[in-house]
Amino acid sequence: MSESIESNLEAINQRVAAACAKAGRSTDDVQLIAVSKKFPADAVRGAYEAGHRVFGESRVQEAIEKVPTLPGDIDWHFIGRLQKNKVRKALPLFSTFHSVDSLSLAQAIDRIAREEGYFPRVFLQTNIADESSKTGFSRAELMEQIDTLLELERLQIVGLMTIPPPRQDPEGTRRDFAAVRELRDEIVAATGVPLPELSMGMSGDFELAIEEGSTCVRVGSAIFGQRAY
């Protein structure tokens, strides 16, 4: 298994580099997060031995079991839905939270980070297509709440994250990614706060995301294979 993980990882790194070249961007500006959710620690070890250091998990309980068995220099990112009652357990495990999807969750993380002594990096999850089925800030909520969010002293808010809705046409997905980038630009213009990061793109669409400015692609199945549910 680890042989195929190694070659998948190499292939993804090459595709990331090609997408960067096409977009006239430096590969240094795009981070690959290997999403290891629902894969065993051995799969992570395979990617680690191939040189990869940044991994994404979507459940706190799964991470509590996996993280301590793996090398301490792995940078773990939380990408799933975070329940407030899991924040205290999540903070020591993860450097970065991609899925902060409401003001009340941001406030809870800020409060607990103060109590526990952390300064987590945070992406604000944006529900760019206003899908009722999806969590995240709508454009209107974000514009209204951004000042309050930026005052939370313990959160290093680095940018926006999105999971676009399924679309028949990749150009629709491209427009979703572009809309998140433009929303970020609007917020930067309105607040003067730099938000350099965009967490956008998964196995099926990361090249489009890179062309539209993503700095953080979250790729799971294209590295580790299909997840068993």
Residues forming contacts to ligand PLP in the complex (CB under 6 A) are 35, 37, 58, 79-80, 163, 202-204, 218-222
Token pair of 147 as six digits: 């000042």
Element of type H or E holding 158: strand 156-161
Least spacing, CB of residue 201 vs ligand PLP, in Å: 8
Least spacing, CB of residue 143 vs ligand PLP, in Å: 23
CA torsion, ordered 128, 134, 137, 139, to nearest 10 deg: 30
Which CB, 32 or 183, lies closer to ligand PLP? 32
Which CB, 149 or 163, lies closer to ligand PLP? 163
Q: CB within 8 A of 178, min separation 6: which ones? A: 212, 213
By Cβ distance, which residue is nearest to ligand PLP?
Answer: 220
Residue 36 in contact with residue 218, Cβ under 8 Å? no
Token pair of 220 as six digits: 């799971």
In the block, tokens 């706060």 appear at 193
Least spacing, CB of residue 219 vs ligand PLP, in Å: 5
Which CB, 99 or 195, lies closer to ligand PLP? 99
Least spacing, CB of residue 125 vs ligand PLP, in Å: 9
**What sign does the CA torsion over 169, 78, 194, 147 have?**
positive
Which CB, 33 or 103, lies closer to ligand PLP? 33
